[in-house]
Chains A and B, each alone.
Chain A
Amino acid sequence: SYVLTQPPSVSVAPGQTASITCGGDHIGSKNVHWYQQRPGQAPVLVVFDDSDRPSGIPERFSGSNFVDTATLTINRVEAGDEAAYYCQVWDAHSDHWVFGGGTKLTVL
């Protein structure tokens, strides 16, 4: 089955840029989606199809996807961005969703 690899944690100071990676074999050929999950809350979609944002998601959130690594970038990080972030793809072979292990973003 397809595997997505994320770093367990990323730390960044307020106002700086956070980059969260998601690695997978030829992930550049798939559409990657990102979810934010604040403590005690349900996941929220923040980026879909590699780099599109749902309505209501700040422009500070952006995404990219090349070859074997997809990246979620959060510019001008705020305290409220502290959360776990999960990448997700659709495995066409099995018609299943696959999630990465999640990355805990800490705002210093």
Chain B
Amino acid sequence: DTGVSQDPRHKITKRGQNVTFRCDPISEHNRLYWYRQTLGQGPEFLTYFQNEAQLEKSRLLSDRFSAERPKGSFSTLEIQRTEQGDSAMYLCASSQGPTYGYTFGSGTRLTVV
């Protein structure tokens, strides 16, 4: 297993467009997380899945954001009607069981122009 994989690595989109990111976790990990990181800040929690169930969502996750994890494997994060304030690094992480030293992917850098 090569770790947590995220696609694409970079995305430039025009304001108002929809974008979708994909995350493939480590195969034996049943927990999957999405975080967002802006310049000069640490990662901020967005949402958490255990298997296919989305168990927690941050209030940062407005109604323009939706995340899915069908069949408890890969996950997608969609942002509708993107705004310039959505420009950030979107990080996915996974873990096995109730451990907090989870593994991050390299992230998807979104730029909204």
> Do A and B associate with each other?
no
| Interface residues in chain B, defined as those with a beta carbon under 8 Å from any beta carbon in chain A | none
| Interface residues in chain A, defined as those with a beta carbon under 8 Å from any beta carbon in chain B | none
